[in-house]
């Protein structure tokens, strides 16, 4: 299979067109180097998966704290705790079904407790 110098016009979005152009360009280089050519469909799928994962990571980074606040709110409410306390790192702890915080270091649990009134 030879890379096509000018692929036929396809009815695809701009991102897919850009990815196809990149794959065709990489296939030209691979052909000159005597390497096997990339399968366009497999490479498109890989590139889209990578882009989607990066987009999700950006989304998760922006909204992580708000999601954890919403997830932990019922647990805190059931324990009669305020939802206003915040200790960096507590969001990475696992809250089990009983609403207790588990961490391998016992001293860490006291850091994540809400301030005493």
Note the pLDDT tens digit of each residue in 58-108.
Answer: 998 888 888 888 888 888 788 777 655 555 445 445 444 445 555 555 544
Q: What residues make up the domain containing 77?
A: 39-111
User: Mean pLDDT throughout 39-48?
Assistant: 94
Within-domain flag for 32: no
Contact 58, 34 (CB under 8 A): no
Total length of the chain: 117
Instruction: Tell me what pLDDT residue 18 has.
Output: 92
Within-domain flag for 25: no
Angle at 116 between CA 114 and CA 117, to 5 degrees: 120
Terminal Cα-to-Cα distance of the chain (whole angstroms): 73
Given a cut of 80, whether residue 41 has pLDDT beyond it is: yes
Within-domain flag for 87: yes
The predicted-structure confidence for 100-111, as pLDDT tens digits, reads as follows 555 555 544 554
- Phi, psi (degrees; rounded to nearest 5) at 115: -60, 145
Q: Quick check: helix, strand or coil at residue 101?
A: strand
Domain count for the chain, please give it.
1
33 CB-near residues (< 8 Å, 6+ apart): none
Instruction: Tell me what pLDDT residue 65 has.
Output: 85
Within-domain flag for 76: yes
82 CB-near residues (< 8 Å, 6+ apart): 76, 114
pTM of the shown model:
0.50
Min mean pLDDT across 19-23, 44-48, 71-75 is at: 71-75
- Cβ atoms within 10 A of the Cβ of 105, count? 7
Within-domain flag for 5: no
């Amino acid at each position: 299979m030879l890379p096509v110098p000018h692929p036929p016009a396809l009815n695809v979005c701009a991102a897919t067109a850009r990815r196809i152009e990149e794959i065709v360009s990489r296939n030209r280089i691979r052909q000159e180097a005597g390497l096997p050519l990339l399968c366009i469909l497999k490479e498109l799928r890989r590139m889209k998966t990578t882009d989607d994962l990066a987009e999700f990571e950006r989304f998760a980074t922006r909204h992580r704290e708000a999601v954890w606040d919403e997830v932990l709110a019922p647990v805190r409410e059931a324990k009669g705790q305020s939802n206003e306390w915040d200790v960096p790192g507590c969001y990475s702890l696992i809250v089990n079904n009983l609403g207790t915080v588990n961490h391998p270091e016992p001293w860490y649990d006291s850091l994540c407790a809400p301030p005493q009134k």
